[in-house]
Amino acid sequence: MSSRRSRQSSSSGSSRISDDQIIELISKLRQFLPEIRDNRRSNKVSASKVLQETCSYIRNLHREVDDLSERLSQLLSTIDADSPEAAIIRSLIQQ
Amino acid sequence: MTCSFHRVERMENRTSLKKKFLQKWIKGLQLYSPSENLTTITERRKFIKLSADIAMASVRGSMTKWSRALIANASCNSENKVLVEQISGCSTEILRKSAPDLGRACRLQASVAKKITSKKILKRSRRMRKREPLPSRLLPSSIAKRLVKKRTQLLKSLLPGGESMDDESLIKETLDYIVSLRAQVDVMRSLARMSGFKSS
């Protein structure tokens, strides 16, 4: 695995992720990342900026999951799958 | 015109993703039995998070590398095997066959940690030896390249199973992982809100 990577970097003179892939990623991430969405010249956003925003976004999502798990552990003294809460959420999601 | 179609399609996919996640998560939560050692808040929190993560990965199944890696990592711990099997609906033996990385993941975790430490030690000793800065290092292009490389590594560390991904699949996996995480957060937030209403 590591040998393949070193071969790649020595053969290609450009950055490790190609520009085309960056453009594709940007257009898809645009809906998630407010930084890039507000940027008018978004087609000139650098690869490192996209990566940075992506990493911080994922970290935020991880933190939210942890916080929500914390909150749920306090709220759900008994985790009852047949509880009215689960039924409500199920119906809400089905809308 | 294609934009609105894609938006509708995304909305529908998002709803079905949340539905599937909730179904699997509930299946996992059913395993919770207050009589065992899950009575402390810490244990409950860990169980809630673990079952949510496994459920989220199980929705994607073996389609994405991150979901395979997440389930593999969870299965490393023998305590979690029952939970994994309950949520994914198939035994860990079948999972191991369909995802060959399952056995490798546990060993990979340990070896990756070792590699990172030894690389850090090597880097530090190299830095101390070379006193004269090479001019090529200060070129904007090489600085940018290093930055991209560093952040790519960071992204890989955030993604389950990311360490062994090539750059192209890293992008696809990242997008899928983000979409799944958002669905997970949405459902958990709804449940927390509902439960908050009940207690107040």
| SS3 readout for A3-71 | HHHHHHHHHCCCCCCCHHHHHHHHHHHCCCCHHHHHCCCHHHCCHHHHHHHHHHHHHHHHHHHHHHHHH
CB of B8 less than 8 A from some CB of A: no
Asked if the structure places residue B134 within a domain, the reply is no
Note down the domain range covering B194: 2-128+140-199
Is A53's pLDDT higher than 60? yes
Contact B195 A28 (CB under 8 A): no
- Chain A hits for B147, Cβ within 8 Å: 48
Q: Which one has a higher pLDDT value, B49 or A95? A: B49
A89:B192 CB<8 A: no
Q: Which of B194, B197, B200 to substitute to test the interface with A, most A CBs within 10 Å?
A: B194
Predicted structure pTM score: 0.71
List the domains of chain A with CATH numbers. 10-93 (4.10.280)
B144 Cβ under 8 Å from any chain A Cβ = yes
Tell whether B31 is within 8 A of chain A (Cβ): no
Residue B126, pLDDT > 80, answer: no
- Which residues 6-35 of A are in CB contact (within 8 Å) with B? 15-17, 21, 24-25, 28-29, 32
Band of pLDDT at residue B112, cut at 50, 70 and 90: low
Nearest to A25 among B19, B47, B171 (CB): B171
Higher model confidence: residue A35 or residue B12? B12
- Please check whether residue B135 lies inside any domain of the structure: no
Quick one: pLDDT at residue A2? 44
Please report the pLDDT score of residue A63 as a whole number: 96
B133 is a domain residue: no
Residue A14 has pLDDT above 50, yes or no: no
Q: How far is B158 from chain A (nearest CA, A)?
A: 7
CB contact under 8 A, B154 and A78: no
What is the chain B residue with the closest CA to A63? B185
Asked if pLDDT for residue A6 goes beyond 90, the answer is: no
Q: Count of domains in chain B?
A: 1
**B73 in a domain, yes or no?**
yes
- Domain membership flag for residue B48: yes
User: What's chain B's length in residues?
Assistant: 200
At residue B5, the pLDDT reads 67
